[in-house]
A and B are shown apart, each in its own frame.
Chain A
């Protein structure tokens, strides 16, 4: 059974940094691209960033380009999202999702950016 478990969310001040993690199990992690998708309170879904299975290719939404960095550790079956210079509008539940068509989702981790 595929499982994705996010962690690392919390309250951070504007301009601060946070690192999210997603622990994967139940599939050959290194064979699949992974993405982060977020959902602001009461709003819809927004793709944030994606990474190829090898980690050699990364992609970002314009809204986070230059501030967020996606990475993965295939030896530990873990996906990361490093978030810098956080803004109030980054407040959201962040989900990790498998492959480019989001077949599987985690339960999400809440990031709140507020002073």
Chain B
């Protein structure tokens, strides 16, 4: 079974500063069609999850451009260029074909 490992588990960030979350998969995410299906989700406190990024680097509609995704093969990164108060929550990566989530990274304000 595929395992998605996120780091760090907790990420205290100063408002206006950048943040970076790592996601590593135990299996390659490159599908036979040549695409890599790696998604990122945000879950604010008390809310349902919301998809931010699909297929590694594509932002969903309405997602601020301070969020960006990158990576290839088995190593992926979600970056927030300048953290805002509304970005507090837990972030999950997901292997898009094995439907397996990472354990989550909690972003909080210092």
Contact = CB atoms under 8 A, between A and B. Distances in A.
Contact of B101 (A46, A100, A107, A108): A46
Contacts of B37: 101
B99 A103 contact: no
Contacts of B104: 44-45
Contacts of A46: 101
A101 B54 contact: yes
Nearest to A102: B51
Contacts, number: 46
B41 interface: yes
Contacts of B48: 95, 105-108
A107 B43 CA distance: 12
A99 B37 CA distance: 13
Interface in A70-115: 95, 100-108
Chain A interface size range: 10 to 19
A44 B99 contact: no
Contact of A35 (B49, B51, B60, B99): B99
Interface string B41-77: 1010000111100100000100000000000000000
Nearest to B96: A101
B36 interface: no
A32 interface: no
Contact of A105 (B49, B94, B97, B101): B49
B51 A47 contact: no
Nearest to B6: A44
Contact of B99 (A50, A106, A107): A50
The 5 closest A-B pairs by CB, nearest first: A47-B99, A45-B101, A105-B48, A44-B104, A44-B103
